[in-house]
């Protein structure tokens, strides 16, 4: 019996080993980004597997060139989170708990909206923004990014709010709270986790956005960091360590969220599709 148990432990240990190797292969490009970002600046890539003489020159250049763009991205992402939560959460609650007759049509519209290619939205918003002066503006990019986060947010939060027992909302209503009050003071606190999940994903969507950054800005004045990287990635790359340092800086939100908010990420990753 003891040998059997040792066998099982050994087999599990081997599996963990295999998993680590697979993960290392999967994350190699990310490691390579880190490695290159720490190499001394230059227009050729180094083939050494470790930064034996680590240099922060790449990061210095990156922050000089792209520091402002990182702040722009941060403002756009934060704005998208606020707009998405304000607009999507009441709707999610309504679609989960109020018995509207047209609920299935609304859900169908939301599902279809998720399939509209970003380029379609970019085409239309460009011409619209051109006439109302929202091109090259942070609010303009917040609105465009919310386009993708709102339907996603409604679906995630609705599936969570389906599980909120109507009786506790009714209890608040009996105590004299209006619909909005009971939503804010009862439903929102209970649904906190789904709001956090949606907020995190709205942040990541907007932070990662490249298409709207590329199409809805025409001058250098408002430039999210993704667009900054794209400009770096011209035909001829002159400073690899600066490009990779910027790429690392642009990955920080994803890395932080993966470490500290893993369960929310997991919930959002499956929730959007499988409902």
Partner 1 sequence: MSDAKTMTATTDATTPSSRKAPALKGGRRAEEIAKILFVVPAALAIVALFGYPVVKNLVMSFQDYTLRTFFTGQAPWVGLQNYVTVIQDDVFSKAVVNTALFTIGSIAGQFVIGMLLALFFHKNFPLNGVLRALFLLPWLIPLIVGSAAWRAILEQDSGILNVTLQNLGIIDSPVPWLTSPDVALIAVILVNIWLGIPFNLTLLYSGLQHIPDELYEAGAMDGATGWKAFWNITLPNMRAVVGVTLMLGVIYTLKVIDIILGLTQGGPANATQTIATQSYRDSFVEFKFGQGAALSNILIAISLVFSVVYLRATRRQADE
The answer to the question of residue 105 lying near partner 1 (CB under 8 A) is: no
Cα angle, residue 184 at apex, residues 92 and 150 outer, rounded to 5°? 30
The answer to the question of residue 33 lying near partner 1 (CB under 8 A) is: yes
Binding residue (CB under 8 A) for partner 1 from 113, 136, 137, 239: 113
Nearest distance from C-beta of residue 16 to partner 1, angstroms: 5
Q: Rounded to whole angstroms, what are the CA distances from 171 to 48, 86, 178?
A: 66, 24, 11
Q: Are 199 and 85 a contacting pair, CB within 8 Å?
A: yes
Binding residue (CB under 8 A) for partner 1 from 59, 129, 160, 183: 183
Residues in 50-79 at the binding interface with partner 1, rule: CB under 8 A: none
Give the whole-angstrom CA distance, residue 119 versus residue 111. 18
The answer to the question of residue 226 lying near partner 1 (CB under 8 A) is: yes
The answer to the question of residue 44 lying near partner 1 (CB under 8 A) is: yes
Binding residue (CB under 8 A) for partner 1 from 6, 7, 22, 192: 22
Binding residue (CB under 8 A) for partner 1 from 18, 82, 162, 168: 18
The answer to the question of residue 257 lying near partner 1 (CB under 8 A) is: yes
The helix/strand/coil state of 216 is coil
190 vs 237, beta carbon nearer partner 1: 237
Give the whole-angstrom CA distance, residue 144 versus residue 62. 27
The answer to the question of residue 82 lying near partner 1 (CB under 8 A) is: no
Binding residue (CB under 8 A) for partner 1 from 56, 108, 162, 168: 108
Which residue in 189, 196, 124, 158 sits closest to 272, CA to CA? Answer: 158
2 vs 259, beta carbon nearer partner 1: 259
Binding residue (CB under 8 A) for partner 1 from 1, 3, 101, 127: 127
Which residue in 204, 200, 190, 172 sits closest to 93, CA to CA? Answer: 190
The answer to the question of residue 156 lying near partner 1 (CB under 8 A) is: no
Q: What does the buried/exposed string (b/e) look like for 191-207 if buried means 16 or more CB atoms within 10 Å of the residue's CB?
A: beebbbbbbbbbbbbbb
Binding residue (CB under 8 A) for partner 1 from 56, 71, 82, 86: 86
Tell me whether residue 80 is exposed, middle or buried, using C-beta atoms within 10 angstroms of its C-beta: 0 to 12, 13 to 18, 19 or more: buried
Tell me whether residue 112 is exposed, middle or buried, using C-beta atoms within 10 angstroms of its C-beta: 0 to 12, 13 to 18, 19 or more: exposed
Name the region of 41 (left: φ>0; alpha: ψ -120 to 50; beta: rest): beta
Phi (first) and psi of residue 82, to 5 degrees: -65, -50
Binding mask 136-155 for partner 1 (x = CB under 8 A): -------xx-xx--xx--x-
68 vs 179, beta carbon nearer partner 1: 179
Binding residue (CB under 8 A) for partner 1 from 70, 195, 242, 247: 247
Nearest distance from C-beta of residue 73 to partner 1, angstroms: 9
């Amino acid at each position: 019996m003891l040998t059997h148990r040792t066998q099982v432990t050994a087999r599990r240990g081997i599996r963990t080993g295999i998993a680590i190797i697979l993960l290392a292969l999967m994350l190699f490009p990310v490691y390579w980004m880190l490695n290159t970002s720490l190499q001394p600046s230059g227009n050729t890539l180094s083939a050494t597997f470790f930064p034996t003489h680590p240099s922060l020159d790449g990061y210095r250049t990156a922050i000089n060139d792209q520091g402002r763009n990182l702040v722009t991205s941060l403002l756009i992402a934060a704005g998208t989170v606020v707009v998405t939560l304000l607009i999507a959460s009441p709707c999610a609650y309504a679609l989960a708990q109020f018995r509207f007759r047209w609920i299935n049509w609304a859900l169908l519209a939301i599902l279809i909206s998720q399939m509209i290619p970003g380029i379609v939205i970019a085409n239309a918003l460009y011409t619209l923004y051109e006439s109302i002066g929202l091109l090259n503006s942070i609010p303009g990019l917040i609105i465009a990014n919310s386009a993708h986060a709102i339907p996603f947010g409604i679906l995630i939060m609705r599936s969570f709010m389906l599980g909120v027992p109507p009786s506790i909302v009714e209890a608040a209503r009996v105590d004299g709270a209006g619909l909005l009050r009971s939503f804010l003071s009862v439903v929102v606190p209970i649904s906190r986790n789904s709001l956090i999940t949606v907020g995190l994903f709205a942040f990541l969507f907007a932070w990662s956005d490249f298409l709207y950054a590329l199409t809805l800005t025409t001058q250098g004045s408002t430039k999210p960091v993704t667009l900054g990287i794209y400009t770096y990635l011209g035909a001829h790359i002159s400073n690899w360590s600066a490009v990779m340092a910027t790429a690392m800086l642009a990955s920080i939100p994803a890395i932080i969220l993966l470490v500290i908010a893993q369960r929310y990420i997991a919930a959002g990753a499956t929730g959007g599709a499988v409902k």
